């Protein structure tokens, strides 16, 4: 038994993983889009998004072999379709090789700074696509050091908690 997330009790897991993951849906366009969850870890936010929006084509990008094996197991157990694990670092991924086409959206949780995520993930997102990050209270400080980007911040309350999240949408 491995603890892939660090959270110990059921309430924290429900709120800080599942509900937190679903916040991305508030800013995602409708329809059959392709999404890359970069640094997927234990499958958050990608797997909860996929469960709620089965029409989405999802790539779970995770460099850890142990975590990638777990993701493949969960996909089989849940019988999810149109979802693929890519066991590589984001910098190593090439469009038309590991990814059949550029994705519409790349998402990540706290894995990257906004600046690093733009730098590392933009090459897998189509022109006109978006990057979505879930950030905490210091989001303005991160954005102040980045020049020449188009972005929007949507502040939402994390259900069943006093936590506010800043969903940052970067237009490419």
- For 2-15, the DSSP string reads --SS---SHHHHII
Please enumerate in sequence order all residues whose Cβ is within 8 A of that of 38, keeping only pairs 6 or more positions apart, or say none: 61, 90, 106, 107, 108, 111, 112, 117, 120, 121
Please enumerate in sequence order all residues whose Cβ is within 8 A of that of 148, keeping only pairs 6 or more positions apart, or say none: none
* Cα(16)–Cα(120) distance, integer angstroms: 25
Residue 13: what pLDDT? 60
Question: May I ask the CATH class of domain 10-171?
Answer: alpha beta
Q: Which residues on neighbouring strands pair with residue 157, listed in sequence order?
A: 164
* Cα(84)–Cα(151) distance, integer angstroms: 28
pLDDT at 140 over 80: yes
Residue 148: what pLDDT? 85
More confident residue, 98 or 61: 61
Residue 161: what pLDDT? 77
Residue 17: what pLDDT? 61
Residue 15: what pLDDT? 55
The pLDDT of 79-89, averaged and rounded, is 97
Neighbours of 155 (CB within 10 A): 11
Comparing C-alpha atoms, which of 105, 137, 109 is closest to residue 124?
Answer: 105
Domain residue extents for the chain: 10-171
Residue 14: what pLDDT? 59
């Amino acid at each position: 038994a491995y603890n892939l997330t660090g959270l110990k009790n059921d309430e924290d897991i429900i709120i800080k993983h599942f509900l937190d993951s679903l916040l991305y849906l508030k800013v995602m366009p409708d329809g059959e889009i392709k999404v890359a969850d970069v640094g997927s870890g234990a499958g958050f936010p990608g797997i909860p998004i996929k469960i709620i929006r089965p029409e989405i084509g999802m790539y779970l990008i995770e460099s850890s072999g142990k975590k990638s094996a777990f993701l493949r197991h969960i996909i089989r157990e849940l019988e999810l379709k149109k979802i693929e694990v890519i066991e590589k670092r984001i910098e190593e991924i090439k469009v038309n090789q590991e990814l059949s086409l550029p994705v519409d959206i790349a998402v990540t949780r706290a894995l990257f700074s906004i600046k690093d995520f733009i730098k590392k993930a933009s090459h897998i997102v189509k022109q006109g696509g978006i990057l979505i990050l879930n950030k905490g209270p210091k989001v303005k400080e991160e954005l102040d050091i980045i020049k020449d980007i188009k972005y929007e911040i949507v502040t939402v309350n994390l259900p069943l908690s006093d936590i506010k999240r800043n969903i940052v949408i970067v237009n490419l």
